[in-house]
Amino acid sequence: MAEHWGAAVVSVGDVLRAEIAAGTELGREAAREMEHGRLVPDRVAIASVESWLDAHREAFVFDGFPRTVGQAEALDEVLVRRRSPLTAVLWLELPVALIEERVSRRVVCQSCGRSFQVGLHVASREDACPVCGGVLTVRSDDNSAMLTNRMEQYRAHTQPVMDFYEAKGMLRKIEASGTPDEVFTQIEAATGINSAQETVGR
């Protein structure tokens, strides 16, 4: 999506991990929650998003954000001030079994931070990053216990976010079990976006 629309991707998890690596107070607070598989407090997530937006004025795609109704409400306020309202909210639907299978095959580049699937984008975990040639690694929280925790967090906190945006008429449900090209075709049809515009991805 980002490449097609000329938009920057905002992965709040990546932003927070950068804060953790830098040893900031925001990062230390985020680390205490993330290492136990818990959602970070809303104010921490929003602060990280505002910090990112201060440095990026172009179109953007949020990845995995907002995760609570409080974050969604705060995000609305931030974007109203910036005069950059959301175009659409995408809800990619997957069976839990397929989520587990994809997580088990996920690797992340230590250099550029991009995620890939073993068997789809790379042949093995020992391959080099196909984008920058960096070293691929498995995220420390990509295990069955953490995934179970994340799914519980999702049902408790993130499902209501979908209801929040559906009430606003912004939610677009995407069946995401197909190939990346098939999923993107659905996204184009659901949003009608074919050029660089502000949007939020779920």
The pLDDT value given to residue 197: 43
Q: What value does the mean pLDDT take over residues 113-130?
A: 93
Continuous H helices in 95-194: 96-104, 144-153, 159-167, 180-191
Domain stops at, among 106, 121, 142 = 142
Question: Mean pLDDT across the chain, nearest whole number?
Answer: 86
User: 11 and 66 share a domain?
Assistant: yes
63 and 25 part of one domain: yes
- Asked if the model's pLDDT at residue 198 lies above 80, the reply is no
pLDDT at 132: 95
The answer on 105 and 21 residing in a single domain is no
Q: How far apart are CA 100 and CA 151, in angstroms?
A: 10
Specify the residue for token string 């779920």. 202
17 and 114, same domain (yes or no): no
Residues 106 and 190 in one domain: no
Q: Are residues 62 and 161 in the same domain?
A: yes
Is 110 in the same domain as 10? no
End-to-end CA distance of the chain: 12
One domain, residues 134 and 184: no
Asked whether the predicted pLDDT for residue 199 surpasses 50, the reply is: no
Distance, C-alpha 120 to centroid of its chain: 20
Most confident listed range (2-6, 17-21, 55-59, 122-126): 122-126
CATH code, domain carrying 168: 3.40.50.300
Domain that holds residue 116: 95-142
34 and 72 together in one domain? yes
Tens-place pLDDT, residues 69-90: 999 999 999 999 888 888 889 9
11 and 90 housed in the same domain: yes
Residues 187 and 126 in one domain: no
The band of 193, judged by pLDDT with boundaries at 50, 70 and 90, is low
User: Amino acid identity, residue 169?
Assistant: G
Domain check: are 109 and 72 in the same one?
Answer: no
pLDDT, position 118? 95
CATH number at residue 132: 2.20.28
d(CA 165, CA 89): 7
Q: Give the residue among 102, 51, 92 at the shortest CA–CA distance from 200.
A: 92
- Mean pLDDT value of segment 43-71: 88
H or E segment at 171? strand 171-175
What share of the chain in percent tops pLDDT 90? Answer: 35
Q: Across residues 178-194, what is the average pLDDT?
A: 85
Alpha helices per DSSP H over 39-158: 42-55, 69-82, 96-104, 144-153
**How many domains are there within the chain?**
2
Which band of pLDDT confidence, cut at 50, 70 and 90, is reported for residue 194? low
116 three-class SS? strand
User: H-type helices in 105-158, by residue range?
Assistant: 144-153
